[in-house]
Chains A and B, each alone.
Chain A
Amino acid sequence: MSKKRSIWKFSILLILVALGLVLTFASFNVAGTVYHYNGFVNSIPLGLDLSGGTAVTYNASVSKSSVTEDLDSAILSTISGLNSMLYNYGINDSVIEQQGSDKIRIEISNQENDFTELFEIIGEPVSLFLSSNENFDILNPSGDYLSSKDISNVYVSTSSDGSSYGVAVEFKTAAKEKFSKLSNQASNSSTIYAFVGEESAISLTSENFIDDTTTAFISGGSITTSSSASEYFIKITSGSYSANLSLSEISVVSASLGKDALLLSSVALGVVAFLVMLLLLIRYRELGLLACFTLVIFTILFSFFLMAVPFIRMSLPGLAGVLIAFALATIGNIIIFERIRSEYASGRKIPLSTKNGFKKSLWPILDIHILTVIASILLYILGTVAIKDFAMVLLVGSIISAFCSLVVTRLLVKWYLPLNSTNARRMNLVRSKALNNETTNETLLEEGGEK
């Protein structure tokens, strides 16, 4: 009875796994429709180094009015500004570097959205001045005023009643004194004017100055709709950088690892999987076959989650993450089977050996995976771009690996036992003289106790 049921379970699993493999690796046109199915593996977003992307070059210059900064340090601070701006747009793998003496080069991988427009807008920075003087001359600033250089943060916001969009500008704490001066003038019902680039002045009232902060809300003129607000958000942010940027060129670049990198890595991953499975088969025979099943299921789940989880981008460090996650899943199985082997070696019968093996390998496997999860979360928080890629892949991989070792393998062995619970040779289990002598008495007691 039970044997039959096991065979049924395995057959159903086999069909599911085959289906999973097709969903993972195959890409095909669905017959009779225009819909094109892309396997999980082919839908994983690729990073700059594996797939190529877009390169943008800006000319950077320093306006003559800011005497304090030389071009190099201006470019350096601009690069860190650009970094955080791109990160806000979900571009988490940009490479930004200074090129020559006066150029900034940004490379981003192929994204779902087209960022050409964003890069064009970044190249059109506008200056921002706040002053109480309606005829304020932005070329020759005078009196009390706040300028782009005082900005610490900019974001898109709506007015307090939600009727119109605008840009909220937060000024540096160093400019707090100037800010409160203007804000006080505004609360004394005199108008403050915001000069955004070449636009005509936007008048601000006390409502525009948000209490207890150094934030001013600018709305009106050409900044009223959601789209114009987000455009000016970029322009003002870009204008607050130390260097003035102007777009020099946008180009499409191929994978930095070379054309064949992706193909070669896929081949290598395939060969790795094959050899590891061969090793498991040789060492554990039919148990090894179960482990291979687990690894195939791991591969399917892993590919699916790599595709589905946001912020994952397969780059070179990501590839390292895939490999180490695969290794973890394998080692999880090895720990279980080695335990079963040593339980059997010291004189127990097969069913009890597997039971004890799973019991005793539970905590080591949990420990390993908990630590990997902790490490990858920590690295994601603390690490920089390349490390973040790696950490994210590893986080997903280690959770799936824990599931596979603790649940899938256990289930498979449970189903397998009714098929074979006496022939140790088929599982390559061996009695040991050395262990047997040591533990015979204890084992017998234990076995009696457990039954």
Chain B
Amino acid sequence: MTTQKYKKTKFSFDETILNSKFNFAKNLKWFILPSIAIFLVGLILACTLGFNFGIDFSGGSIMTIYANDENLIADAKSFNLDDNADFNQMRDQIEKVFEEFDIKGASYQKTTIDIEDLGVYHGQAIVVKYQNNSSDIDSITSLNSEIQAQIIETFDYSTNTSAVLSGGVITPSASTEMVVNAFLAIFVTIILISIYIGLRFGLTSAFLTVLCLFHDILITSSLVAMLRFTVNFVFIASLVVVMIYSTCNLIIVLSRLKEYQRSGRFDGETNENIANATIKETLTTLVLSAVVGLICMLLIGIIGVSDIRAFAFPIVIGVLSSFYSTVFLAPGLWSIAFKHKNKKQPVESEKSQEKAS
């Protein structure tokens, strides 16, 4: 009864996919082209322009601008930074100065100086941290003093120029060792994930996982280099998110594949057919999982502040790349890798693969 009722349904996404003749496995050589193109452009850009490193990777400068000390800025307007309007007004004025010097993406922190050293006053201040435009220490120093002079003029602090303290250049807080360790951690994690997949789903799947995970991480890094997103320490966390997301998608497909092999439903079928049927039946799950990922990351990226964007947008790229690699690259790669074994041991190979795992 119910069956008949639903036959009237005009359009069903699931049904359309299941009935489509689209071959996911066969066209690997075409599907892989965009990935290679993106990777090459990213590689060239990374080698020539480099990544747009954040302040914790590349270092930068720090400047303290006092807001309301009586001894310091008696004649000028003082700001009460606890008041939002005052804080924003002061910050906007500082931002304007920094934009004149073509420095963007500076961070502004409200500070209350508690304990004073000789020559440092009590009171509130805004601490500005920003990236240097060049790597030459002399030009940085001269630029910093120019900015300092400009800010003194803006706020009319001329009676006491020490109201603007240039803290000078700060070193990257992330040392090379830390960065190397982080990437090592990612690498070891990929290996471990593949070993687990290998034990659960067989060697071919482990090989597939390594390729797909590296694909997604490389594509994400390439696009980040292309789109000039900031690369800071949080970017490494977003690469890890991409990796986990990608693993999740692969498991959805691989477990369905394993189930088919076990049920014997595709005995005697070609690898291509098996791979195609698997992708078609898991596609809705994959699409929904990608949509969930995109909702999460796009929204937090659009609503959040600029630093949050620096981690959310790479993940958005990663989610798309992971969807692409699972749906368009994995079936092709799988059927190639599996065909090789089929030649040696026709039909039986699937079952022996199963036992090996």
Chain A positions within 8 Å of B, measured between CB atoms, are 49, 52, 55, 76, 80, 95-101, 103, 105, 247-261, 264-265, 267-269, 271-272, 275-276, 279, 283, 316-317, 319-321, 323-324, 326-328, 330-331, 334-335, 338, 341-342, 345, 360, 363-364, 367-368, 370-372, 374-375, 378-379, 382-387, 390, 394, 422, 424-425, 430-435, 439, 442
Contact = CB atoms under 8 A, between A and B. Distances in A.
B296 A276 contact: yes
Given A98-B171, A251-B114, A316-B308, 9 more contacts: A55-B111, A264-B304, A265-B304, A316-B307, A320-B238, A324-B241, A367-B251, A382-B181, A430-B12
B69 interface: no
A273 B296 CA distance: 8
Interface residues of B, number: 91
A342 B283 CA distance: 12
A327 B2 contact: no
Contacts of A390: 237, 240
B10 to A, nearest CB: 12
Contacts of A378: 185, 188-189, 192
Interface stretch (B42-50, B70-78, B285-293, B344-352): B285-293
Contacts of B303: 264-265, 267-268, 271
A378 B189 CA distance: 7
A165 B188 CA distance: 43
B143 interface: no
Most chain A CB within a 10 A radius of its CB, from B14, B18, B197, B295: B295
Nearest to A323: B296
Contact of A100 (B169, B184, B233): B169
A260 B87 CA distance: 12
A382 B185 CA distance: 5
A331 B289 contact: yes
Contacts of B237: 317, 320-321, 386-387, 390
B191 to A, nearest CB: 10
A426 to B, nearest CB: 11
A394 B109 CA distance: 29
Interface of B: 2-3, 5-7, 9, 12, 14-15, 18-19, 56, 59, 62, 84, 87, 107-117, 120, 127, 129, 167-175, 178, 181-182, 184-185, 188-189, 192-193, 196-197, 200, 233-234, 236-238, 240-241, 243-245, 247-248, 251-252, 255-256, 259, 265, 281-282, 284-285, 288-289, 291-293, 295-297, 299-300, 302-305, 307-308, 311, 315
Contact of B170 (A98, A247, A248, A279): A98
B193 A364 contact: no
B18 A434 contact: yes
A433 B291 CA distance: 26
Contact of B251 (A260, A364, A435): A364
A383 B185 contact: yes
Contacts of B251: 364, 367-368, 371
A371 B248 CA distance: 9
For the complex of A and B, list the 5 residue pairs with the smallest distance between their C-beta atoms, beginning with the closest: A100-B168, A382-B185, A254-B110, A268-B303, A98-B171
A319 B127 CA distance: 24
B113 A251 contact: yes
Contact of A269 (B14, B127, B167, B300): B300
A386 B236 contact: yes
B93 to A, nearest CB: 16
A374 B14 contact: no
Contacts of B15: 430, 432-434
A408 to B, nearest CB: 18
Contacts of B307: 49, 257, 261, 316
Contacts of A334: 285, 288-289, 292
Contacts of B178: 384-385
17 contacts: A99-B169, A251-B112, A255-B109, A257-B307, A268-B302, A327-B292, A331-B288, A364-B251, A364-B255, A375-B193, A375-B243, A383-B182, A384-B178, A386-B236, A386-B237, A394-B244, A430-B12
A253 B109 contact: yes
Contacts of A439: 265
A320 B111 contact: no
Contacts of A76: 175
B234 A316 contact: yes
Contacts of A338: 282, 284-285, 288
A99 B170 contact: yes
Contact of A371 (B12, B185, B247, B293): B247
Contacts of A49: 307
B304 A324 contact: no
Contacts of B114: 249-252
A387 B168 contact: no
B52 to A, nearest CB: 17
B299 A374 contact: no
Contacts of B18: 432, 434-435
A331 B248 contact: yes
Contacts of B296: 272, 276, 323-324, 326-327
A384 B109 contact: no
Contacts of B304: 261, 264-265, 268
B330 to A, nearest CB: 15
A299 to B, nearest CB: 14
B311 A316 contact: yes
Contact of B185 (A253, A364, A379, A430): A379
B299 A275 contact: yes
B181 A431 contact: no
Given A249-B116, A258-B305, A320-B311, A99 B2 contact: no
A381 to B, nearest CB: 8
B196 A371 contact: yes
B117 A97 contact: no
Contact of A99 (B62, B282, B300): B62
B180 to A, nearest CB: 10
Contacts of B182: 383-384, 387
A367 to B, nearest CB: 5
A275 B169 CA distance: 44
Given A272-B299, A316-B234, A52 B196 contact: no
B292 A330 contact: yes
B170 A367 contact: no
A319 B241 CA distance: 11
A320 B235 CA distance: 10
A157 B302 CA distance: 53
Nearest to A344: B2
B299 A271 contact: yes
